[in-house]
Every structure is written in structure tokens, then in C-alpha cells.
Amino acid sequence: MHGAPQDRSIEETLTPRSVAVIGASEDLTKFGGRILKSLIQHGFEGAIYPINPQRESLRGLACYPSVQRTPAPPDMAIMAVPPDAVRETVAACAEAGIKAAIIVTAKFSEAGDEGAAREREVVEVARRHGMRIIGPNCLGLISPVNNLALCASPALFVPELPPGEIGFVSQSGALMATVFDRAITRGIGFSHCFSIGNQADLELCDFVEFLVADPHTKVICSYLEGVKDATRFVATARRVHDAGKRWIIVKAGRSEAGAAAAFSHTASLAGSFEAFAAACRAAGVLVMDDTDAMTLLAALLGRFPETDPRSTAIVTTSGGSGAIAADRLTDGSVPLASFAPTTVTALQVHYPAELCTNPVDMGAAERGLLTGVVSDTVDIVLRDPATDIILTPVTTVPDIKLVAEHVVVGEQRAAEAGYVKPHILLLQPAQSGEAARGALKQAKALYTDNLDEAVRTIAAWQRLASLRRRAAPERPADLPAAPGIGRGGAIDEIAAKRLLDAYGVPVNRAELARDAQNAAACAERLRAPFAVKVISPDIVHKSDVGGVALDLDTASAVEEAVTGMAERIEARLPEARIEGYAVQEMAAGDLEMFVGARRDPQFGPILVVGAGGILVELLRDVAVACAPIDATAALELLNACAASRLLGGVRGRPPLDVAALADAISRVSWLVHDLGDRFEQLDVNPVLVSTDGCVAVDARLLLGTGSDDANGAEGASA
Ligand code: ADP
Ligand code: MG
């Protein structure tokens, strides 16, 4: 008897013990034909029920006219029926007591409103009976550890499904099959692969949670186009991490233009991909941009979960290939190992002393490229204390297969002596390398024929090793309980800086003047030298329209500046609403930095820091994080920007006060966090950084109306 549907775990749902193939056939041009073939061929041990009213038997199995007529209710069904027949077929499955149905059929929510309505209907029908749905618009699943292939891809027409430690969840079915195909061709196996399609019912996180609990899976890989539920995504990512597993994601859409809103720089600097990537970083998830490198890294991680590949050694059959590899690793910021003296001495058995350095060119061995030289060299280098990982570019030499085999022999010898280190063989020969590829696959050695992929893999591994799942930041004790904000819309410089001040971000003193005369009076209360700026909801970049005057020494200079400014703006922007002029103190600083934030509709407030002033959009030198962050995380964020090199002091000039800047960044992140769902965008540009502190001299904030008015009381803070 089946358990009540609501009690059914995701484990039970996704590990069927019997399956029905609706529309089963012997015709390999049909979905049902290919699915049945793969299902039988790979030795699924549970019951297989082909469903086809026209046939008594198919491929030697009894065939049934409908899912209701099978001897026992199947656990899972897969269907590729026409769109119009899906609802009825799903209803039949649900009524038959099937636990989960895979809908391969497309033309649902991905194809517009009508399809979306049909999809909702189908989910409703299934839910009524507690049946779960995978898809629609998916390619099904491949579970090598269960000898189960419920997928119509020809990628499954292989002698066996190699099981492995990688779980793969893909939003694209075609890509799932391709990644599977490419991986098994080089001997990399999977625990389970799921094509999740439109995720009408079971969604990404359901599958990932299954893999978190799955004892066969060590590393989870995903291909994603978008995230349906960001909160659940982040919670799931944390669970992956807490289970001691790793999650690597390739996400499409990185090149998508930033949000269109022209209000601030932030919108164009941190689009939805950056927000996603920031959320992943904070949760310890690695984002990559290439599926081949993703699978190679996942395979390496499955074998060497503890490795932090900080320095790489190159052992090659060709000096040229080794030199190019060294260049590319360096371009990819992957450091090369400098061999320990013991390694150098050991290598001298085969090489002249001056050649015992990284990269090692085995072609330059005194006795030539003998198999013994290959295995010895690999063995010696793997024992090198300064080497964490080796890359072995093998070029088109005589006996490539033998050379490749002896690379593996060397690796095994080192492993037997306790030097278990990762090793990537870069097999560069094309047709002449076929036999070597076969041998490497047999020996379960990890290889690639693509230098770029090898470099990306090692670089990504280094990034992963440095990813730490962040604990929630601690709220500084001196922050106000809530920011005092009133109306929504664009908040001008003076009001925005008042909020920053309340949060402990240093700002320069300023007063709002109505006109030139009033400006002079304001200046009397401030310390010279002064700056004057126009305040208008219609002017975003004040200096572009002559709305900023700097270095004014006297009150009368301030008065004159305002008069001139008013005339200039009247001439250029007669329509602009002028609310007044900010008279303020000049602040000193050696570097202009940018601190901004925007609210991502999925991941909440996203903080952006980088080179400021007019350089911000020119250089686009920014780093992005989910707010709030503490000062330590802010410091790391700054270090991710090229501008951080300027903060360290250039050419004998003393270093700037990064600690003060990091503290200010953290405080800004709390402010935007506290603004809640009223927060839209904030630009603090520039923050002037000096050797002793920092000052925000310009700020602009955009607030929405928000849904809660709890923060709406004006003047909650000074
Ligand atoms: P906007 O960005 O709207 O053009 P800002 O207020 O940022 O106007 O001013 C433009 C530039 O003027 C700043 O990048 C900074 O270099 C300088 N500046 C503005 N206010 C001050 C100030 N109070 N002290 C020192 N420099 C200032
Ligand atoms: Mg500015």
C-alpha cells in the first residue's frame, strides 16, 4: 500500500521502484520508443510497464492499455503525449495512484498565457491526488546509481550508465543530456541527473534537497536560467553547505543588460545576474560559466573534497605546451608552484640541474621521453610539498597511449606513498590521441583536451576553496532602531546624508538655502572652504549641468556661486524644479569611492562598491554583495575591486583609511537593509577617503511607497 501522498518524502518520490512508459513503442523515432529501449537496456531492477493500447507486448515486456490496468500502481510514469492529451493522462496517472509523473510534453508556461493556464490545470489535477509532477517541458531523469534511465535522449544509447558522485539538476533538458554525454565519454559518472523543465510542481530546490540527502551524491551541479524562489534557493544552498557537500551552478543570462532604471549608477552596475552571484557567494555556492569545466571540477571535488589547489605544477611532454600552459595559468591568476629543494634534487636523476623547475619538460630528459621518465617525473612532482595539483599537457608524441598510461602509473605510485593529489591530464592530440583517451577513461584518470577548460577548472576550484558560507552579520549596537523616513520618491542629497549620518556614516556638514542671499547666511554658520550644489528632483548628475561649485572661500563667493548657478540652470533646464541649494563644507580626501545599493526583486538589497566619482561607469570597477554585511566582509569586498590597490597607498604616499571606509560601507548596508521593502536605490558617490577617515559628500536615495508603514514616522532619528 502506498503511503499518504502528503507523507511522501522527496526521496520516495524520486526513487521509483516501478515505472510506466506512456506511449511506449519499439520505434526509436518516438519518445516512447527511445525511453523504453534505454530503460530496459540499463537494467532497471523494478517493474517496467509499457503503456500502449495497441500492443500486447513490447521488447519482450507485457504491455498494458492504460496506467489503471497495470498489475500494481507504478511509482512513476513518464509521458510525451500531445499537449491536449496531457491533462487527461495526468488525471489517469493520479487516479491510478502514481506518485510522480514526468511530463516531457512542451508548449506549457514557456509558450505564453494559454500554456501557463494549461500548466496550472494539470498541476491542480495532480495535487488533488497527491501526485507530484516533474516538468512539463523536460527530458526526464537519469539515475545511474539505480540503473534507471527515464529519458529519451540518444545520449543513453551507451553500453552502461557509469555511476558517480555528481548530482546534476538542469533547467535545460538538452543540456542535461549533452553534459551527461560529454562527461561519461571521459569517464565521469553521475548519481542522478534531473531535467526539471518548467518546474510547475517540483522545483529546483526539491531536487537539490533530494541530492543533499542522497548518500551517493557528493557534489551537486546545476544549469539554471532563473530562480523561482530566492528565499528557498538561499536556504537550500545553506543546507548543501551544512551537509558538507558542494553546489556548482552555471547560470545563463550574465550578459543581460542591467536594469533599465536610469536613476542611479547602481542599477546598471549590478543587474540580476550580479545579485544572483552575490547571493551564491554568501551561501558558499560556486558560480561558473562553462558546463565542461563544471563537470571536471565536480569530478575532482568528488575525489579530493579537502584540496585547496593553491599552487600548480606543470609536467609536460613539450616545452612549448608547458610554456603556453604556464602563461594561461598566470593569466587566470593560478599561481605556479616553486619546487622545494628536495624535488629539484630528485628531478636531477633525469634532467640537467637547470631544467629541474616548474614547468618540467619531460621531452628534455637526458635519456629522452621514456616511460620510466614519465612515471618518475609525475611521481616526484606529486610528492613536492609546494605542489597542490598537477597539470600534464601531453602533446602528439610517439606512443601517446603509453605516455598517458605512465602518467597514471606515476600518479598511482605517489598515491601509494601517501601523496594523494589531484591531477588533470591535458591530452592535446586529436585523432592520434584516441587510444590514449580510451586508456585514460579505463584508468578513471581525469582528462580534458582543452587547456582553457583546465585553467578555468583550477581557477574555479581556488575560488571555491576561498568561499566561506557567511554567518549573519552582527548589527552594530549604535545603529538607530529604524531609519526615519517620510515620503517616498527621490530623496535629495541633504535628506539622504541626514539618514547616513543617523547610521554613523561620516558626512560633511550642509544646509539647504532657498536663494543666493540665504546661501551666504548658511555659509556664515559653516566652516570654509565651501561647496554649493543645486537641489532638484529633476537633476540627477548635478555637475553635468553646472550645478556644483567647489572651493569657495567666503560667504560672498557662495552668494555669487548660487546666483551664477541659478542662471546657468535656468538657461539649460528651464523646466527643472529647483528646491534650493546645498551649502556645505568642502571635505578633504585622496580617493573617491562609490558605495551604492539597489533592491533586487528576488535577492533583496544588493550592495555595490568600487571606484567612485566620474570613474564609476567608466571603469565599472565594482564588487557586489547582498546587504547587510559587516566591516570584515566590506573589507573583502573592497579587495575585490582594482581600486583597492589605490587605497593601499601609491608611490610612497601613505595608505588610506580603509578601515573607516569598510565601516561606512557596512553602515550603508544596514541602512538599506533597514529601509525594508521601501528601499529602491541608493548612490553614495563619492565617499572621499583620506589617510584619516572618510566622508560621504554626495548621496541620492530612491524610495518606493512600500507595503508597511512601520518606518513611515518622520524624524525617528536626527
Ligand atoms: P554629482 O555627482 O551630482 O555631479 P557631486 O556632489 O558628487 O555631484 O559633486 C561632484 C564632484 O565634486 C564630486 O565627485 C567631488 O569630487 C566634488 N565634491 C562635491 N562635493 C564636495 C565636497 N563637499 N567636498 C569636496 N569635494 C566635493
Ligand atoms: Mg556624485
Measured between alpha carbons, how far is 347 from 366 in angstroms, rounded to an integer?
Answer: 11
Take atom 17 of ligand 1 and give the residue whose Cα is closest: 550
**b/e for 152-176, b at 16 or more Cβ within 10 A?**
bbebbebeebebbbbbbbbbbbebb
Q: Judging by beta carbons within 10 Å of its beta carbon (0-12, 13-18, 19+), is residue 98 exposed, middle or buried?
A: buried
Q: Judging by beta carbons within 10 Å of its beta carbon (0-12, 13-18, 19+), is residue 116 exposed, middle or buried?
A: middle
Which residue numbers in the chain have pLDDT < 50? 1-4, 257-263, 708-718
Cell digits for 133? 509532477
Instruction: Name the residue among 680, 538, 687 with its Cα closest to residue 598.
Output: 680
Residue owning grid cell 591568476: 333
What is the DSSP code (8-state) at residue 306? Answer: T
CA of 482 to the centre of ligand 2 (A): 26
CA of 687 to the centre of ligand 2 (A): 9
Bond into 136 cis (ω within 30): yes
Amino acid at 337: A
pLDDT (0 to 100) of residue 652 = 80
In ligand 1, which atom is closest to the CA atom of 543? 4
Residue of 508, 548, 618 to mutate, ligand 1, most atoms within 8 A of C-beta: 548
What is the DSSP code (8-state) at residue 554? Answer: S
Amino acid at 231: T
pLDDT (0 to 100) of residue 3 = 42
pLDDT, one tens digit per residue, over 293-309 is 999 999 999 999 999 99
CA of 502 to the centre of ligand 2 (A): 20
Quote the pTM value.
0.92
Measured between alpha carbons, how far is 656 from 326 in angstroms, rounded to an integer?
Answer: 35
pLDDT, one tens digit per residue, over 708-718 is 444 433 333 33
In the chain, what are the domains? 306-466 (3.40.50.261), 509-585 (3.30.1490.20), 591-717 (3.30.470.20)
Any ligand 1 atom below 6 A from CB of 508: yes
- Range 175-180 contact pairs with CB under 8 angstroms and sequence separation of 24 or more: 175/223, 175/291, 176/139, 176/142, 176/223, 177/139, 177/151, 177/153, 178/291, 179/221, 179/223, 179/291, 179/294, 179/295, 180/142, 180/153, 180/155
User: Is residue 424 within 8 Å of 454, Cβ to Cβ?
Assistant: yes
Any ligand 1 atom below 6 A from CB of 584: yes
In ligand 1, which atom is closest to the CA atom of 541? 3
CA of 148 to the centre of ligand 2 (A): 60
Q: Judging by beta carbons within 10 Å of its beta carbon (0-12, 13-18, 19+), is residue 89 exposed, middle or buried?
A: buried
Any ligand 1 atom below 6 A from CB of 698: yes
pLDDT (0 to 100) of residue 485 = 76
Alpha helices in 573-657 (DSSP H): 615-619, 631-639, 644-647
pLDDT (0 to 100) of residue 695 = 98
CA of 541 to the centre of ligand 2 (A): 7
